[in-house]
Structure 1
């Protein structure tokens, strides 16, 4: 009911979430799209997830595509993050129980500022689990290419794969699964978990690169700090940047003085 109350005052709505929160955000967005479809409303709905597990099988994905809702979802996946790849492996296994214990230890160690907590699970167990997931991920990649997909979890929407070097966006589900496999072929489980926590850095890099490229194409100067980058993105998204393009440099200088003070 709170979502519907907010919706009455909104021109659009964006859902977002990290890890399992991304799955919840996707479900909320799907529910709202169904609700708006039945009420003949045209309010734009968009969902952005970060390191989210997959939600359903190919039939589920096809149902979303049939309603033309695929473009409402963008799933950001970092290069080595294991969470979006996890459900290609069987769920009720000793290995999954092992991962969950390791995952809780790792996340807790990050929250309290103690990275050494990541090492509380024996290396042999971590290596065993990673081999287990990668084996099923490779098998799923092969089955996706061969067309045997009935029981598999299946992606929907657009996928933005990101790393420190840049990113690539894919919409074809088979290509998404193949990319998920290829990008984690030679990593450790600790790297996979640490990468699950680095989305803020990746998005910051993307924002900076986007602004620099856009300003270069327009013959302007790019922002030189995260504060300026955020200000520039806000202005561009609101449409004000075009009205004050000639004063852009003055705005950046003013923001720098504001930060220094």
Structure 2
């Protein structure tokens, strides 16, 4: 897609947030809590948390606050690992965020200490929540950190059909490392549960970014969710984590007299935002941006709006714009990537391959051998379908390894069904290409990692396996062979037959080949007996039948085994295809 068709909609999202009234209602809950607090420094410096539940007609609001002085006195950059959360803090409620490629993550120690210090009260609070109404969890400063962790705790126990909470924080520090950010961001549902408001006058949201790891000199803390960054000129929303980090750091270069966290500062910002939306935003706009491409113009407007106009003529501005021009389209592409739509498109390609399988069968060949020998014009179409599907499923596996294991269970089942159909349909075509090029030992030397991963994922989901095995005997005409490496074993058996008939083969090689062929017999008979191999293998021109005819010549008419008893009577093939053959 060309850049001229791209734009960044952060200003529109900020206006939407302001016009919804949720910011005002959330901040009112926070300000009501502050109104009842003793703000004397000597009293307020204690490590305490206050919260209140506001039951309204259309939603529930839970607000968290600590005294601002508590944030300044206690906030530290130390991190607590997932294992320490579970074992040292006895808080296993974030385990659901783990994924295969994200087995661990770390959370800010101060936020964890605050949450666990009030664990008993929060357990009681959690049990009292009415999930029939929309829920907003909100908080300011360290109270916002608690709100974020409490929201994650709620997500752990929310089942299908229940509304996810919306967490709105004001001036909250970042709470976790890159792994936590990735675990949450990989779920579009979870990531959209968090809206963090940060003012250019507030040092707290960026306070932990400047703490670097000794080895990489990069920020250990990473943002997740949507950030609504604001200045006296307005606000803009951002979702890309790299963009948010850069902007928070850039906003730190703004000179604000007596810059410090002000308790009621966000109330003024929220009211100004609401007024601007009502008045159609009469704030003066930046200088001439005519001639800019839409993406450049929208990025310039957003940077100006969040208070970075002072660096517009500095090299830092151009660097920031260039970075955002790269990040924004990637973020936009990710957001519009509907997993259900992409899965549906993949299924359509599978349907075309099913047609290809049936058409090859009507010609007496079978899709494996038709694809291997490229006998017909539609074999070329199958090559393109295979490529498209392989690209899609490799991407999906990479995403699946990043996704939390308990996220999207219903979609996971649909996904696994489609993934299994893909593997059973496409891996034989990969095998055909492999042996057509003269190579051997596909299982150990040539098998793609993504097929192995899909097979392992299927083994983890017993319900899908049971469904695949049920009613196969009644549908063998259209069923796929459940061992997607079946044709690789057939090819190896053909090679063993050639070795046995070769005058150049040694006695030892022939003995080994004979043992392998006996093992192949047992393997095939086991598949047949369990009705897990397609009846297409009995097509006259199939590689399996070519193997059988070669093997029968080598062994002679006197050879007897369970497989030869079955194979010597062609009538058995028809009974097998109907699912009525009675195996001894």
TM-score, normalized by length of structure 1?
0.54
What are the Cα deviations for residues 35-82 of structure 1, in whole angstroms up to 9, with x where unaligned? 10xx32421310000000101011101111223211110000001211
* Matching of residue 71 in structure 1 with residue 195 in structure 2: no
- Describe the shift of the 1:89–1:208 C-alpha distance in structure 2 as closer, same or farther (beyond 3 A): same
Which of these residues, 129, 137, 151, is aligned with residue 6 of structure 1?
129
Counterpart-to-counterpart distance in 1, 2:277 and 2:258: 30
Contact 2:191/2:226 (<8 A) preserved? yes
Q: CA deviation at 1:188?
A: 5.2
Number of aligned residues: 156
Contact 1:11/1:44 (<8 A) preserved? no
Which of these residues, 215, 226, 229, is aligned with residue 161 of structure 1?
229
- Describe the shift of the 1:49–1:2 C-alpha distance in structure 2 as closer, same or farther (beyond 3 A): same
Aligned to 2:73: none
Counterpart-to-counterpart distance in 1, 2:135 and 2:280: 28
Counterpart-to-counterpart distance in 2, 1:169 and 1:188: 22
Contact 1:14/1:47 (<8 A) preserved? yes
Aligned to 1:210: 277
- Describe the shift of the 1:89–1:184 C-alpha distance in structure 2 as closer, same or farther (beyond 3 A): closer
- Describe the shift of the 1:189–1:165 C-alpha distance in structure 2 as closer, same or farther (beyond 3 A): closer
Counterpart-to-counterpart distance in 2, 1:204 and 1:71: 23
Which of these residues, 44, 53, 59, is aligned with residue 179 of structure 2?
59
Aligned to 1:83: 204
Counterpart-to-counterpart distance in 2, 1:193 and 1:72: 25
Aligned to 1:177: 245
Counterpart-to-counterpart distance in 2, 1:186 and 1:212: 27
Counterpart-to-counterpart distance in 2, 1:88 and 1:171: 17
Aligned to 1:126: none
Counterpart-to-counterpart distance in 2, 1:18 and 1:2: 19
* Matching of residue 190 in structure 1 with residue 268 in structure 2: no
Counterpart-to-counterpart distance in 1, 2:125 and 2:241: 34
- Describe the shift of the 1:186–1:5 C-alpha distance in structure 2 as closer, same or farther (beyond 3 A): closer
Aligned to 2:145: 23
Contact 1:17/1:25 (<8 A) preserved? yes
Structure 2: state its 5+ residue gaps.
1-123, 282-584
Contact 2:173/2:208 (<8 A) preserved? yes
**Which protein is bigger by CA-based radius of gyration?**
2
Q: CA deviation at 1:154?
A: 0.2
Q: Secondary structure at the match of 2:273?
A: helix
Counterpart-to-counterpart distance in 1, 2:139 and 2:250: 25
- Describe the shift of the 1:64–1:189 C-alpha distance in structure 2 as closer, same or farther (beyond 3 A): farther
* Matching of residue 49 in structure 1 with residue 172 in structure 2: no
Q: Which structure has more strand as a fraction of its residues?
A: 1
Aligned to 1:32: 154
Counterpart-to-counterpart distance in 2, 1:67 and 1:154: 16
Q: Secondary structure at the match of 1:87?
A: coil
- Describe the shift of the 1:188–1:209 C-alpha distance in structure 2 as closer, same or farther (beyond 3 A): closer
Q: Secondary structure at the match of 2:259?
A: helix
What are the Cα deviations for residues 185-209 of structure 1, in whole angstroms up to 9, with x where unaligned? 1425722434x64100000011111
Counterpart-to-counterpart distance in 2, 1:188 and 1:211: 28
Higher relative contact order at CA 8 Å, sep ≥6: structure 1 or structure 2? 1
Contact 1:58/1:153 (<8 A) preserved? yes
